[in-house]
């Protein structure tokens, strides 16, 4: 039998099952009442792992959730076409195809051969988890102009996947940069 998780012990990035659906906690806030006899409530901002929908819901601290049957395996990105995005499971070497809804905007961070975590729920693929940082080449950016070196100045850059971010002025076309997949921001030179 799957372990039960108390609502009060759910923290950020905790996976749990609610109404037969797997969720990931994005934020958790505990509200303790000041009056005697009041119930402690836990407000969760959670993402449905099947639909990627995000919503908030309050639970009693004593509510219990099942632990979802989730597995993660390393996979490499192969290509995308009209059928979806294709990944190779690095353990079984089988090709797994995910539709656009399962991949979401992750394609903006994926180049051929990039490694991701392929997430399965009850044995069926439901989506991917990107690494915290990815390295991508700058496909286009304006050259820096002389005398434009005031602290923290940035310019727009289009990366090889089509993603547009702001980079420091010293970054040139063709350079590899490190990009945060959470904030979608420049994180340094690669």
The pLDDT tens digits of the residues spanning 5-46 come to 999 999 998 999 999 999 999 999 998 887 777 788 999 999
H/E run at residue 103: helix 100-103
Give the pLDDT of residue 149.
59
Sign of CA dihedral 77, 47, 7, 30: positive
Would you state the pLDDT for residue 147? 61
List pLDDT tens digits, range 63-84.
Answer: 999 999 999 999 999 999 999 9
Kind and range of the H or E element at 18? strand 15-18
What pLDDT is stored for residue 150 in this prediction?
60
The DSSP secondary structure of 42-101, one letter per residue, reads EEEEEEETTT--EEEEEEETT-EEEPP-EEEEEEEEEEEETTEEEEEETTT--EEEE-HH
Share of the chain above pLDDT 70, in %: 95
Q: So what's the pLDDT on residue 174?
A: 93
Sign of CA dihedral 74, 78, 79, 81: negative
Going by pLDDT thresholds of 50, 70 and 90, the confidence category of residue 108 is very high
Instruction: Say if residue 97's pLDDT is above 60.
Output: yes
CA distances from 43 to 38, 52, 91, 144 (A): 15, 19, 38, 47
Range 143-157 average pLDDT: 74
- Alpha-carbon distance of 172 to 155, in angstroms, equals 11
Predicted structure pTM score? 0.79
Alpha-carbon distance of 106 to 80, in angstroms, equals: 12
Give the pLDDT confidence score for residue 146 in this predicted structure: 65
Answer yes or no: are the C-beta atoms of 15 and 30 closer than 8 Å. Answer: no
Alpha carbon distance 106, 128 (integer Å): 8
Residue 1: band (very low, low, confident or very high) from pLDDT cuts 50, 70, 90: very low
Mean pLDDT value across residues 132-150:
82
């Amino acid at each position: 039998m799957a372990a039960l998780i108390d609502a009060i012990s759910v923290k950020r990035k905790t996976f749990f099952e609610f109404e037969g659906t797997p969720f990931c906690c994005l934020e958790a806030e505990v509200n303790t009442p000041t009056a005697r006899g009041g119930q402690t409530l836990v407000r969760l901002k959670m993402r449905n792992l099947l639909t990627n929908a995000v919503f908030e819901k309050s639970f009693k601290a004593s509510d219990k959730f099942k632990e979802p049957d989730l597995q993660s395996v390393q996979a490499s990105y192969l290509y995308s076409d009209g059928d979806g995005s294709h990944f190779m499971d690095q353990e079984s070497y089988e090709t797994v195809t995910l539709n656009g809804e399962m991949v979401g905007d992750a394609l903006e961070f994926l180049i051929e051969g990039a490694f991701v975590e392929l997430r399965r729920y009850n044995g069926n693929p439901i989506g991917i988890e990107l690494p915290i940082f990815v390295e991508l080449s700058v496909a286009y950016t304006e050259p820096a102009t002389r005398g434009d070196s005031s602290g923290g100045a940035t310019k727009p850059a289009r990366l090889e996947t089509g993603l547009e971010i702001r980079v420091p002025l010293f970054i040139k076309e063709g350079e590899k940069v490190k990009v945060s997949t959470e904030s979608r921001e420049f994180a340094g030179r690669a």
